[in-house]
Amino acid sequence: MKSNVLKKQLTLWTMLVALVSGSVAFAADSVDLSQSPEVSGTAEGSIVMPKEQSRMALDYVNQPPMIPHSVEGYQVTAKVNTCLKCHGVQSYRTTGAPRISPTHFVDSEGHVSSNVAPRRYFCQSCHVPQADAAPIIGNTFTPAPGYGK
């Protein structure tokens, strides 16, 4: 009896993974990944990223802030993180950049470290360069009350 339930669950998970993978592959086909990070393709054309701009308002609680400057040529590898040269605990005071959040020093098990946690080290996994551009795919998202201003 349990074997049949497990087979059904496995089948459902397999179908879900296939559906999500197909959706991602379909979306990736419509985006030109060869463009530099400074130019973003949209339905209307391309958007040129400014070198620096004021910060956009957040739209919900705990939203990762967007990057208000160019990141062209920034290197983030296992050994080098260019973002931390300005936003790191030691450097933010002299650069005037916002300090990296204390949440970035908590690992997946809840332990606090003096180093950036591995899951928070690759900044552009969550933080993206901002652009005031129309969405490539339409949506009905509205900011949480009191946000987005």
Annotated binding site for heme c, which residues? Answer: 69, 83, 86-87, 104, 123, 126-127
Q: How many residues does the chain have?
A: 149
**Which residues are part of a known binding site?**
69, 83, 86-87, 104, 123, 126-127
What single DSSP character describes residue 146?
Answer: T
What residues have CB less than 8 Å from 123, skipping those under 6 apart?
Answer: 76, 81, 83
DSSP H helical ranges for the chain: 2-29, 84-87, 92-95
Q: In whole angstroms, give the CA distance from residue 66 to residue 128.
A: 5
